[in-house]
Chain A
Amino acid sequence: MTGRVIVITSGKGGVGKTTTSANIGTALAKSGHKVVLIDTDLGLRNLDLLLGLENRIVYTIVDVIEERCKLKQALVKDKKNPNLQLLAAAQTRDKTAVNAEQLKEICDILKEENDFVLVDCPAGIEQGFQNAVAGASEAIVVTTPEMSAIRDADRIIGLLNTKEEITSVKLLLNRVRPNLIKSNEMMSVDDVVGILEIPLVGIIPEDTGIITSTNKGEPIVNDENALAGKAYRNVAERILGEEVPFLDLDEPRGLMAKIKSVISKLKVKV
Chain B
Amino acid sequence: MSLFSDLYNTLAKFFHNQEEEQADASKSVATNRLKLVLMQDRTNLTPRILEQMRSELIELLSRYVELDKELLDLNFEQEGNQVALMLSIPVIRAKDEEEIDAALKERDEMLKLVEDAKSSKECSEDEKVPDVLEDSENSETNEVSEETSSDEKEENADSRTEEEKVEADKTDAIANELQDIPKIIKKKEKKEVSAPEEMTNSGSNPFKSDNAEIESMAESSSEN
B33 touches A147 (CB 8 A): yes
Known A147-B34, A151-B37, A191-B31: A183·B23 in contact at CB below 8 Å? yes
The reply to whether the CB of A77 lies closer than 8 angstroms to some CB of chain B is: no
The answer for the CA separation of A151 and B35 in the assembled complex, in Å, is: 9
* A184 touching B38, Cβ below 8 Å: no
Does B38 lie within 8 Å of A195, measured CB to CB? yes
Cβ-based interface call for B26 (8 A): yes
Query: Is A250's beta carbon under 8 Å from chain B?
Result: no
Q: How many residues of A contact B (CB 8 A)?
A: 16
Known: A126-B143, A154-B42. A185 touches B34 (CB 8 A): no
Closest chain-B Cβ to A118's Cβ sits at a distance in Å of 26
**Is B197's CB within 8 Å of the partner chain A?**
no
Tell me if A185 and B41 are in contact (CB < 8 A).
no
* Contact B41 A151, beta carbon cutoff 8 Å: yes
A residues near B38, Cβ cutoff 8 Å: 150-151, 154, 195
- In the assembled complex, the Cα of A224 lies from the Cα of B26 at a distance in Å of 35
B residues 1-59 near A (Cβ < 8 Å) are 20, 23-24, 26-28, 30-31, 33-35, 37-38, 41-42
Please state if B35 and A184 are interface contacts (CB–CB under 8 Å): no
- The range of chain B's interface size is 10 to 19
User: What are the interface flags for A224-241 relative to B under an 8 Å C-beta threshold, 1 for contact and 0 otherwise?
Assistant: 000000000000000000
The 8 Å CB contact of B26, one of A151, A185, A188, A191, is A185
Q: Which residue of A lies closest to B37 (CB)?
A: A151
Does the CB pair A187–B42 fall under 8 Å? no
> Which residues of the partner chain B approach A184 to less than 8 Å between Cβ atoms?
20, 23-24, 26-28
Min CB gap B141→A, angstroms:
12
Is A189's CB within 8 Å of the partner chain B? no
A125, CB-defined interface residue at 8 Å: yes
Whether A155 pairs with B41 at a CB distance below 8 angstroms is: yes
A57 to B37 CA separation, bound complex (whole angstroms):
43
A184-B24, A187-B30, A195-B31 known; 14 new pairs, CB 8 Å cut-off, are A147-B34, A150-B34, A150-B38, A151-B41, A154-B38, A154-B41, A154-B42, A155-B41, A158-B42, A185-B26, A185-B27, A186-B27, A188-B27, A195-B35
Closest 4 A-B residue pairs measured CB to CB? A184-B23, A184-B27, A183-B23, A184-B24
